[in-house]
Amino acid sequence: GAGVSQSPSNKVTEKGKDVELRCDPISGHTALYWYRQSLGQGLEFLIYFQGNSAPDKSGLPSDRFSAERTGGSVSTLTIQRTQQEDSAVYLCASSLVLGQGRYEQYFGPGTRLTVT
């Protein structure tokens, strides 16, 4: 079956522009996660969804970041007024259910965002 897909794979944008990143999780996975990975750094947790609900938004770096999920499937991460420090690889993952680390996560290939 299809894995987690993300689009675009690469995005170059000018500082101050808005960008939208998309994630298609594995069909049937109710939990969806967004992470950010900067060069040489670990995975920084941003937000998770259980169904369409995001109970914990505390990981979002600033109010320029927002995310939504519709129909319990596709999710979009939006960054408004991008800054150079937003440059990173944005990874999406899904798991069968939300489960406090007892379920493995399946990651997409990521979107490499470069803000010039």
Q: Provide the minimum distance between the beta carbon of 42 and another protein in the complex, in angstroms, as a whole number.
A: 4
Do the bridges between strand 88-95 and strand 106-107 make them parallel or antiparallel, or are there none, so unpaired?
Answer: antiparallel
For residue 108, what are its two tokens?
């997409």
Q: x/- site string to another protein, residues 5 to 24, per CB under 8 A?
A: --------------------
Per CB under 8 A, does 99 bind another protein?
yes
Task: Report cis status (omega within 30 of 0) of the bond before 8.
Answer: yes
Q: Does 26 bind another protein (CB under 8 A)?
A: no
3 state SS of 19: strand
Q: Between residues 64 and 106, which has the closer beta carbon with respect to another protein?
A: 106
Interface stretch with another protein, choices 12-20, 41-49, 68-76, 79-87 (CB under 8 A):
41-49
Task: Give the integer Cα–Cα distance in Å for 79 and 14.
Answer: 12
Q: Which of 79, 94, 86, 80 is nearest to 23 (CA)?
A: 94
Binding site for another protein (CB under 8 A): 4, 33, 35, 41-43, 45, 48, 50, 55-56, 59, 91, 93, 98-102, 104-110
